[in-house]
Structure 1
């Protein structure tokens, strides 16, 4: 206790706490303050008197505090220092109980019974109180047990002359009655405070409900938890709706995604490379080797990733289509999109699908036997469509480099730059080179046109022709443009071949060639088309039979994780509407609890 007092000080504001628990004891905090002094004696700090007063003021000014004004009955009332302070803190005496102690000593030294009578009637001190009590707290022996102290007090009042003369009233004596009075005062203050708080929350609830009716007409109040559960049901409904998507729609989407992902590899690494072979056998050998390596390594994993993306894209598409309906509530948009993104990260394709895909894809790519005319014509049509689309893309890219947008020129007030003019002249020279190759092929019966490489002599010729036109460019500049120009030429030539081969199935079936036309390119694209169809069908079955159920389980896990993260929920479900509903929910809950407490207090009384 002394350790809490700093050097040079007499008292400390630090609290020394002691918890007392037991049956029948009220759950209250009793603060024993130092007595108010009028004089600072030798050895005390110079501010002791003021420090005690400040400390007492600090606790007594609490409107929820019950003030026990303790007055020594053996000391003259005029020497009391505490009553004046109490009257300032509680001038109406609504939370003050006066306690007169040591009345046994007062009775022994009694000269004037009227003074004690006036004290207990509240007529002597300039203060008001809820009640006035006289108590005896033992004989002054610190070792006396509580039972002995209580017996001594009861015996004193039973045998007291003042009690017999009517100075002491039974209800104003003993520590037990004082405890009851404190308890009654405590619960009375609690009830008044609770009733006041209930009225405050009732008014707040009315204001909030009025604001809701004016701000969100015809909308039901839904707090964050209710909105989350509503969104949970809608999200899980969309997962179920995945099973209602037609099989053809799945396979069409998968086919589109598969070709878009593999088209660059097919054209640049396989088709264009194999076309450099001087014979059909060389073409087929190159194609077989590259497709075999592709099917054993990258292709299955690539297709699984595409299946994953298509599944999640369809899931997101269902949610976004629902968002466009008139009756849709947009407040859950952020939550739903966050769930979709979490699914993209968390959902892992069943690893068993890789091995089965690898087997069926390898078998499809190895088969070069087109079974019937319909399959042949379908393959030729597929070849025509993909080559035409790739040709349009390559020509668009080349034209955008050669001829920038007229809007861009107008906006920047500039014509073609030097680099753009150089590029245009270079393309013209490269196109002339291709024409020369074609003429050379006709006279020499060689296939120079097929070569994708620009040899040194050709590069030198193109560069000299450009220099003659005062166009100075590097070899790398010419080579880069050559790759695009040659690819466009290559695609045009194969587009023409495709059209010529559309009705070539009879000759293919008989193993004949029509005036040098072999159409092995159609067989190549038939192999690709069949592999894509088989893959799309297999992935579609995987989605329908396995992945949709696994996705539903993962969505439930994600929603459960989100539901336990209050911060994340607050970020995903936000806005004035949510905040107002949350505040209404909180105010209603507090008001209902307060009203239940008031009913319990009244029942207990």
Structure 2
């Protein structure tokens, strides 16, 4: 034992000299930055990566699974004191008999010439060699914890990140968690116990997290809560390090060498670990410095009955040995994790390359320029094919789109307006005037717009005819959009169309019966389309019929019921006036409303106008269909110079 103590002192002396030499080298590097540029520490960069990933997923549901040391233990088990001994500074708020750690604190330990601490989101550095700076740091940690805790809560899952640098510090990342409690007091929220347990489980679920399990040695082992939790998350003990704190109290109060030996050999608790350590973190005086606690710890173990009895060994005593063991385990885990991730990425890359070769076998060996030339060649070929579209195909597509755009205007503002007159001469005059106004103001511009749309549709259809290729599909779409955006019609196009259309409208000649029949068929189709639209509107107004109500379990709304009654009254009015105007007079509206009121239906004038409009339109279109049928026989009269109402519009439509 004396020999072991002698060599331990010699090792401590050499380590101190080593730390001093490291400090001198680091200081020299800072003073002579021109000759030597200090590189960022790998642990600092690693910690920043963890911070960035934590911002994306603070709940750890889909966490990065990168290694860190998770410090867990029962409340007041000495968990925070162990972390302070490893960091060699009293950096956490102090309390007695109450919960102090209320949110996770991520501490990144790194070696540096000065013993300082800094928060992730702050530029201020705290000098840990000055008591006033330590007090300010502890106050800041306490303020941040309180700020992170929501209203009505006791603990928070928001992580407070800080960095501690100093000579001889072991480089690693530790996460200090709130202590596990057995009872919720009156000044805590009711879910505090479950929240802490859930928080610890979330951090320990990381398969690469090193669990630093802290057990209070001064209490009965049966009162432990943390060991069961740790054994659940890591039953094989491949990433757990067990730490028995307050060994001095255990020796003085509960001195049972066999029981303590069972704990440190992993035979008492239902959990396994990579290593078992015994530490002393002070006499319970919160004002003691780290150096004072360290001297007391070394003095205790030198004179410990447990050490003399062989229960304790030099390799599993003191926080210094614990710090070295945790750091070694941490970096082994980092190396294994990085290698595992690298293997995973290699496998993913191999799978992607295999999929590429199998899916795109024709282009897998082409480089960037060759792929570009191939895509350009295909697109140019398809552009050339655009000129192979027949004039008839262009004309059909253009006519269809133009009529869809203009049908409403033709019926509403030209045909219906002119058809109100009973005199055929007035009808023809109105048609001529309205068609000329349409040709002067709207038709040329609409033709240009429809031409642009038709060109785009045909271009899109041409690009879709080839085989679907995910590589070139987006490129083709981009080429199409860019081409259409840059395409412009001749500025004189509208004026030229205006002149041509005026001349066509003034030409009333029909050369043969085929043209006449084509015009009649065109008009009949257009009227039938309008009639179908009006009938659908009336059907929606009236609601489901009797058959539909029974078979589909549907019923009419109150508004639809009122529409049905109103339509019956308006149909009576329509029957009594065979040539009714498109609009109802005030007297007619009043009469219909009074008739409806006798049936218990109370509606306003606007309701009746909305119902009348499609009803009148339906009646008018049916009459137009009869006129169209009569026009089929009108070519004979046309050849002899006679015109009937509606013939003029047929000529214009042709």
Please give the TM-score of this superposition, normalised by the length of structure 1: 0.49
Which structure dedicates a bigger proportion of its chain to helix?
A: 1
**Which structure has the bigger radius of gyration?**
1
Please give the TM-score of this superposition, normalised by the length of structure 2: 0.45
The higher-RCO structure (CA 8 Å, 6+ apart) is: 1
